[in-house]
Structure 1
Amino acid sequence: MNLKYELRSGWKVINEMNNIEAVMNYSKEYMDFLDKGKTERKCVKEIERLAIKKGFKSLCNIEKIVPGDKIYAINRDKNIALFVIGKQDIEKGLKIIGSHVDSPRLDLKPNPLYEGDNMAYFKTHYYGGIRKYQWVTIPLAMYGTIILRDGSKVEISVGDEEGDPVFCVTDLLPHLGAKQNEKTLAKAIEGEDLNLLIGSIPDEDEEKDKVKMNILRLLNSKYNLVEEDFLSAEIEVVPAGKARHLGFDSSMILSYGHDDRVCSFAAVKAILETENPEYTVSVLCADKEETGSNGNTGMHSRFYENTVAELINLQTTYSDLKIRRAFSNSKVLSADVTAGYDPNYSTVYEKNNSCHIGYGVCISKYTGAKGKSGTSDANAEFVGEIRNIFNEANVVWQSGELGKVDEGGGGTIAYILANYDAQVLDCGVGVLSMHAPYEIISKADIFEMYRGYKAFFNK
């Protein structure tokens, strides 16, 4: 018996289990998912494709369910829920892994296009908790959905394909930045300064706003768009470029969107490989987590509850009591990332209670801020149960908090499902440079997370 708690190196265990090739193959799949899923809509579309390939069928086409059935439901192209029906009635509880597929970004304002000194710009409104200074002078891509004046839908995707132009937010040159240098990081770049440079060729046939009008003509030619159509559009600006291997040893991945697509992909892959479980297993990929989980595609919406209610109705006679029992009997892993210990900024971490890169999937008994504000705080019994599941499957895991007690904090969707009386524990991987345009994760950690999720579903 080992009386002392010690971290295990993920790479050491992976080598001992001869899993290096599996880790690299998994990472390649995940990087492909990242490249195809630059927005929550793109993620949902790709997850649906993967699910259909594995035999999942849309809930819209189901009249009755039996054990082993594989079902998915989509909410407004921004949420997707996957289910494999278990041998026990849903009323007995589900095993749920809940994640989110939205990531911090820049959104175009409803009326974004303007011209300034013979250059055309889009006004943006940042989404989620970004550090604004990180978003200037980097190449940016644009994705979106526009509902045109005739009601038709147009998809925009510019900046990631070979030959595509990219976009950029400019910054001051150091020679003229003396006053800017005196500002705090939070104030050096203001929200209203995040204006996207999109063009500079004038339309000489116009008397004013010559560059703006040239841009409008280009957009109209390609998308049949007029300026008023921006009012019914969702256009997101994200870092351009593909996910990249990081380090001479390619042990890490540098990419936009690890938070929280890294957990979403692991959960999806785990459920796609789950057959005939004892209890119904489910993956939920939600939207709007980065802005508080509100709205009809956020975790606070009734989408997931309504979907589970429909499944109960397809399995047996529905009642309000059965849906309440189903959630009360459920066990949930809130699949979200946490702060990876960064020795460059060690003063904000408490090392003994931090998530260390390369040491496996991380469980967090609680999140929140300062005095555990906003957390669900998992009970000891459920933490012990997950710990035993991981140990039995030889999953490399660790425990961590989000930095020192009074340094800040953050939350996940855990408390929302816990409010349904489900047992919930946060479980994800550590990330370096979280919420930056390009984040960093360890390939060892994400592979162990996938193995842990799969063990949870199959126990």
Structure 2
Amino acid sequence: MLLKKENGWKKEGLEKAKIFEFCEEYKRSLDFGKTEREYVKYGLELAKKEGFVCASKKESLKAGDKVFYVNREKNLVLVVIGKEDITKGINYVVSHIDSPRIDLKQNPLYEELELAYMKTHYYGGIKKYQWASIPLSLHGVVILSNGEKKDIVIGEKDDDPVFTIPDLLPHLAAKYQGDRQTSEVIKGEELHIIVGSMPTSIKNAEVKELIKYKILEELNETYGMIEEDFISAEFQLVPAFKAKDIGLDRSLIGAYGQDDRVCGYTSLKAILDINGIPEKTAVCFLADKEETGSHGSTGLQSNYLEYFTSDLISKIKKEYTDLDLRKTLWNSNALSSDVNAAVDPIFKGVHEVQNAAKLNYGIVVTKFTGARGKSGTNDADAEYVWSIRNLLNSNNITWQIGELGRVDEGGGGTVAMFLAQVGIKTIDVGPALLAMHSPFEVSSKLDVYETYKTYRVFFEKMI
């Protein structure tokens, strides 16, 4: 039998209205949660409405219980306790909710030629030139000198100001930028945002930088901030525009942050919509720091997965040992739910088309990622690949295989290897995107819905 896949919109009995309706809420989630902190708040609100309670409030757990864990406001874990002995394994779906962006430096504000700017440091893998001359909104949290914590969002409301990184006009760019490599058309130290141009009205001989001082006055009046407070703040600049339908047929979605909040949203909805009590305990884990290597206490290289898993076991079993944790992890299944690169006909030369993903062909099963000689990857074993393939086929899921570019073209990684290194059977399964890591990534509505269906089936039926 030939390996033959087809455009998912051709499938008989396709429920187009249901797909479009599902994607409307998905788009709203992207508009609401443009940072990992915001997405945790969004997910937590949905979970509480569906009866999930904080795990710390439960001394014991039984089949059917629904609990959540929050780690430093950047990780969210939702759990539905299954019928089976937990040491026989958990079904994990693990997504990341951080996305490439522009962060403010810790001492960002300066004035030059009577303009006020803020300096930045980009986060994750971006094409820097894509972030110039577009409207940016500022999202973040600041801890004031008195210990008060404030959430700040500027640029999302219709009457809010926005920010921008100015680019050089083409009339003067030929010599200055023309000979630069693509990665340095705009350099990292040139990613400065304009924040003001009006001088303060204060009459004080000690104040030399009148524009900068005016910005500090605005921050102090509105948020109680002083300049030193930037050191205890996390401010991110993200595109100020909203998620939109693309195309006359509205079949595609354009938005910031779809890598990887498309998987964050679909896995979140999947665990909230579980029908009845699953056989195996189901875990939706929304992680952080994937775009910078999964380091830190909120990344997958921390031991937080082992921490909350051991807490679950200890609340289910009266007597708990470290071996119980090792058995549970070793017997577990995971979907590393991250996106793959869809073939763009304009740039199809970077792909080996026979093994590349396409928009509208359903969720992508990626056996391995990595770079060149499979460096820095989990390479799922044949037995586990078969079990996922069988699960998808037996539940009428539209799916395809995918590889991240031609062998020597480049590559990329996911959190899969960090799950696998503690013994969990793991494979990458997520939708394909065009323009990945850009400020306006493109997904297929059909693929988004098939991703949701996949994760729900995995939670309910994977054994």
Which residue does the alignment assign to 1:348?
Answer: 350
The structural deviation recorded for 1:18 is 3.7
Structure 1 distance, partners of 2:50, 2:394, is: 27
Tell me if 1:170 matches 2:166.
yes
Q: Percent identity?
A: 48
Q: 392, 400, 403: which is aligned to 1:401?
A: 403
Counting only pairs closer than 5 Å after superposition, residues 326-337 of structure 1 correspond to structure 2 as: 326-337=328-339
Which residue does the alignment assign to 1:182?
Answer: 179
The structural deviation recorded for 1:7 is 1.3
CA offset digits 1:263-283 (Å, max 9, x no partner): 111111111011300010101
CA offset digits 1:236-292 (Å, max 9, x no partner): 000002100000000000000000000111111111011300010101100000000
Tell me if 1:298 matches 2:299.
yes
The structural deviation recorded for 1:8 is 2.2
Contact 1:364/1:399, CA 8 A, preserved across alignment? yes
The structural deviation recorded for 1:302 is 1.5
Structure 2 distance, partners of 1:292, 1:431, is: 20
CA offset digits 1:163-214 (Å, max 9, x no partner): 0000000011011001212211111110000001011001143541100000
Tell me if 1:111 matches 2:107.
yes
Which residue does the alignment assign to 1:261?
Answer: 261
**What code does the residue aligned with 1:344 have?**
I
Counting only pairs closer than 5 Å after superposition, residues 203-282 of structure 1 correspond to structure 2 as: 203-205=200-202, 206=204, 207-274=207-274, 275-282=276-283
Structure 2 distance, partners of 1:105, 1:21, is: 33
Contiguous gaps of at least 5 residues in structure 2: none
Structure 2 distance, partners of 1:8, 1:417, is: 32
Structure 2 distance, partners of 1:434, 1:144, is: 23
Structure 2 distance, partners of 1:203, 1:456, is: 59
Contact 1:367/1:377, CA 8 A, preserved across alignment? yes
Structure 2 distance, partners of 1:392, 1:55, is: 31
Structure 2 distance, partners of 1:194, 1:176, is: 18
The structural deviation recorded for 1:162 is 1.4
TM-score by length of 1: 0.98
SS of 1:453 mapped into structure 2: helix
SS of 2:94 mapped into structure 1: strand
**What code does the residue aligned with 1:248 have?**
L
**What code does the residue aligned with 2:266 have?**
A
CA offset digits 1:2-53 (Å, max 9, x no partner): x11111211112xx22411110011001001101101000000000001011
**What code does the residue aligned with 1:190 have?**
K
The structural deviation recorded for 1:216 is 0.3
Counting only pairs closer than 5 Å after superposition, residues 4-403 of structure 1 correspond to structure 2 as: 4-13=2-11, 16-179=12-175, 180-205=177-202, 206=204, 207-274=207-274, 275-316=276-317, 317-403=319-405
CA offset digits 1:350-369 (Å, max 9, x no partner): 00000011100000000000
**What code does the residue aligned with 2:199 have?**
P
**What code does the residue aligned with 2:48 have?**
I
**What code does the residue aligned with 1:48 have?**
L
Contact 1:333/1:427, CA 8 A, preserved across alignment? yes
**What code does the residue aligned with 1:238 have?**
V
CA offset digits 1:347-401 (Å, max 9, x no partner): 1000000001110000000000000001110001111111111111100000000
Structure 1 distance, partners of 2:96, 2:264, is: 7
SS of 1:137 mapped into structure 2: coil
SS of 2:368 mapped into structure 1: coil
Aligned length: 455
Larger mean Cα displacement after TM superposition, 181-190 or 202-211: 202-211
Contact 1:70/1:84, CA 8 A, preserved across alignment? yes
Structure 1 distance, partners of 2:214, 2:222, is: 13
Q: 425, 428, 432: which is aligned to 1:426?
A: 428
**What code does the residue aligned with 1:331 have?**
N
Contiguous gaps of at least 5 residues in structure 1: none
Structure 2 distance, partners of 1:261, 1:417, is: 19
Structure 1 distance, partners of 2:69, 2:424, is: 21
SS of 1:412 mapped into structure 2: coil
SS of 2:400 mapped into structure 1: strand
SS of 1:381 mapped into structure 2: helix
CA offset digits 1:388-428 (Å, max 9, x no partner): 11111100000000000000000000000100111000001
The structural deviation recorded for 1:60 is 1.5
SS of 2:157 mapped into structure 1: coil
Contact 1:81/1:304, CA 8 A, preserved across alignment? no
SS of 1:161 mapped into structure 2: coil
Larger mean Cα displacement after TM superposition, 234-243 or 3-12: 3-12
Query: Where do 4+ consecutive residues of structure 1 move more than 6 Å?
Result: none
**What code does the residue aligned with 1:309 have?**
S
Structure 1 distance, partners of 2:23, 2:10, is: 17
RMSD: 0.8
Structure 2 distance, partners of 1:327, 1:69, is: 20
**What code does the residue aligned with 2:434 have?**
L
Structure 2 distance, partners of 1:279, 1:405, is: 37
